[in-house]
């Protein structure tokens, strides 16, 4: 547990730092190019050039890997936290971290 944004952060699993290019598809239509900044089995944090709408549904696409469906948990002008709708297989997270 650590403090983030003035609130206690109670993650289900630890996230690992990374810097991997990805695409976020908003509500099945608009796309934004992002970088994954950290990733774990339950979610990730991305850098984004535009604010994502908290509570919206997105799909995260990393080239060569299965897409990951997620909900935007929080967002500011440069970053967003995403909670995966389904826990990805550990080998997918490992592949992101190895990229």
- Residue 20 backbone phi and psi in degrees, to 5: -125, 130
Structure tokens at 65: 């890997």
Closest by Cα among 96, 98, 37 to 67: 96
| CATH number assigned to the domain with residue range 14-98, chosen from the 4 options 3.20.20.450, 2.40.10.220, 3.40.50.300, 1.10.3210.10 | 2.40.10.220
The domain segmentation of the chain, as residue ranges, is: 14-98
- Give CA–CA dist 36/76, Å, rounded: 15
pTM comes to 0.84
Pseudo-torsion of CA 25, 75, 7, 38, nearest 10°? Answer: 50
Over residues 27-76, the pLDDT tens digits come to 778 899 999 999 999 999 999 999 999 999 999 999 999 999 999 999 99
């Amino acid at each position: 547990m650590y403090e983030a944004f003035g609130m206690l952060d109670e993650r289900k699993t630890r996230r690992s730092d990374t810097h991997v290019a990805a695409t976020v598809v908003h509500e099945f239509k608009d796309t934004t190019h992002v970088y994954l900044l950290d990733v774990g089995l339950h979610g990730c944090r991305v850098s984004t050039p535009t604010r994502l709408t908290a509570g919206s549904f997105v799909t995260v696409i990393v080239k060569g890997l299965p897409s990951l469906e997620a909900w935007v948990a929080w967002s500011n002008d440069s970053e967003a936290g995403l909670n995966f709708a389904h826990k990805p297989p550990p080998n997918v997270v490992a592949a992101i971290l190895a990229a």
